[in-house]
Amino acid sequence: MDKSKWLVAWDFVKRPKSAFYSVFGDEFGPEVERVQKSVAVCKDDFTARRLRALLQWYGASVCAFAVNGASLDDAGKDREAEQYVARIHTQRLARRGRRGSNN
């Protein structure tokens, strides 16, 4: 069994029956962490596959992705990202004829 965590995202075209939420809560309580209304992190691929099957049963479109556990902790790359955001913000304000501040 794969030990990666899995990110499962779904979208219902129309609101699911209330039974979906009951089954979801009963069957996936400790195995799934909801991070948004339609996004959850599953503890393993077995759980992700079961959740995907349940969602599809109730008519949802579903995508599942392995989460590799890589971290964004890199001070140099973080500074580059912060500089990029500051530059974009300044450029947008300049186009509007205003001056930006360095927040």
Q: Give the DSSP per-residue string, 26-73.
A: HHHTTTEEEEETTEEEESSHHHHHHHHHHHHHTTEEEEEEEE------
Task: Give the pair of three-digit tokens for residue 55.
Answer: 């969602």
Domain boundaries, the chain: 5-67, 73-103
Tokens 């995508």 found at? 63
Residue 41: other Cβ atoms inside 10 A: 16
Q: How confident is the model at residue 101 (pLDDT cuts 50, 70, 90)?
A: low
Q: Distance between CA atoms of 86 and 91, rounded to whole angstroms?
A: 9
Residue-wise pLDDT for 13-69, tens only, equals 999 888 998 999 999 988 899 999 999 999 999 999 999 999 999 999 999 999 987
Q: Does domain 5-67 have CATH number 3.20.20.10?
A: no
